[in-house]
């Protein structure tokens, strides 16, 4: 009876994850993971994209120009492959996060005893993706909320009416800009990298989808969306400085 209950709980869990993953149009792949030293080292980014496509996802590299229909960053998932320590065994698992850095789904751990890193990473990732494949991903066409509800003033709150939500459209990135930065999800927000890749700025999420706490070269300010552009704003010598920043989320 206990085993039957556990199997039912596992089935419900898998179905729940499948439904949440299906809310997103595509997956963005970073060129480098934390445990690697260079872009696409051991062809792990390539293997990630291959496995995502096999699992039915639309997948794009973070520096890739994508169709306009995928420009809403909050309708996309962001994958991160992580390595778990193991003696003589390579262990990998994949995390899928939303635009706020919240984990939507975590795969099972894949393992390989191969000594060659490229073979070991490929085998471990393919094994991890067995649980992803089991989700039978298919985009369900649901719209994902792209911003937090707008605050209602005290005066408006006293009126017995249905509250409305203001949706702030994310600025569209100019992919031809040579200074374009690419956003990679972190635990508390994003890090913005250039094509090198080098981390240029770190972002911490706030209650607003169009505003982040931003840190660049030791200077703390905010990154705000205005007039379809992102601006890094901070104080210098008691004066407000506003710098336009081109970002692709």
| Domain spans, the chain | 2-133, 168-248
Of 90, 103, 99, 82, nearest in space to 28 by CA: 99
Distance in angstroms (rounded) separating the CA atoms of residues 47 and 52:
9
pLDDT of residue 228: 87
> Can you list the alpha helix ranges (DSSP code H) found in 22-145?
44-54, 117-133
15 vs 136: CA distance, rounded Å: 10
- The pLDDT of residue 41 is 93
Please report the pLDDT score of residue 143 as a whole number.
Answer: 57
Q: Both tokens of residue 116?
A: 């060659």
Q: Which residues pair with 132 in a beta bridge?
A: none
| Closest among 147, 153, 142 to 24, alpha carbons compared | 142
pLDDT for 197 = 76
Cis peptide before 191 (omega within 30 of 0): no
What pLDDT shows up at residue 60? 93
Q: How far is CA 203 from the centre of its chain?
A: 13
Environment class of 71 (CB within 10 Å of its CB; exposed 0-12, middle 13-18, buried 19+): middle
Q: Does the predicted TM-score (pTM) go above 0.95? A: no
Predicted confidence pLDDT, tens digits, the chain (249 residues): 445 444 444 444 444 443 479 999 999 999 899 999 999 999 999 999 999 999 999 999 988 888 888 888 888 999 999 999 888 899 999 999 988 788 999 999 999 999 999 999 999 999 999 999 999 999 988 756 554 433 333 433 333 433 333 444 568 878 788 889 998 888 888 899 888 778 899 999 888 888 999 999 888 889 999 988 899 998 888 788 999 999 988
Q: Are the C-beta atoms of 182 and 63 separated by less than 8 Å?
A: yes
SS3 63: coil
């Amino acid at each position: 009876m206990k085993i039957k209950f556990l199997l039912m709980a596992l089935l419900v869990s898998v179905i729940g994850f499948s439904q949440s993953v299906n809310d997103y149009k595509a997956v963005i792949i970073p060129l480098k993971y934390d445990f690697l030293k260079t872009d696409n080292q051991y062809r792990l980014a390539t293997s990630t994209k291959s496995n995502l496509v096999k699992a039915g996802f639309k997948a794009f590299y973070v520096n890739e120009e994508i169709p306009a229909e995928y420009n809403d960053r909050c309708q996309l998932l962001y994958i991160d492959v992580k390595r778990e320590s193991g003696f003589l065994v390579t262990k990998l698992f994949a995390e899928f996060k939303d635009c706020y850095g919240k984990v939507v789904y975590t795969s099972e751990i894949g393992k390989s005893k191969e000594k060659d890193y490229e073979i070991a990473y490929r085998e471990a990732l393919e094994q991890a993706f067995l649980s992803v494949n089991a989700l039978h991903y298919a985009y369900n066409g649901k719209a994902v909320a792209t911003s937090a509800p707008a605050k209602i003033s005290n005066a408006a709150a006293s009126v017995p009416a249905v509250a409305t939500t203001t949706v702030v459209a994310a600025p569209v990135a100019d992919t031809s800009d040579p200074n374009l930065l690419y956003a990679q999800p972190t635990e508390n927000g994003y890090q913005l990298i250039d094509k090198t890749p080098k981390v240029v700025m770190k972002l911490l999420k706030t209650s607003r989808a169009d505003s982040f706490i931003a840190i660049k070269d030791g200077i703390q300010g905010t990154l705000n969306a205005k007039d379809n552009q992102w601006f890094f704003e901070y104080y210098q010598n008691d004066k407000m400085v506003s710098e336009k920043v081109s970002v692709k989320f």
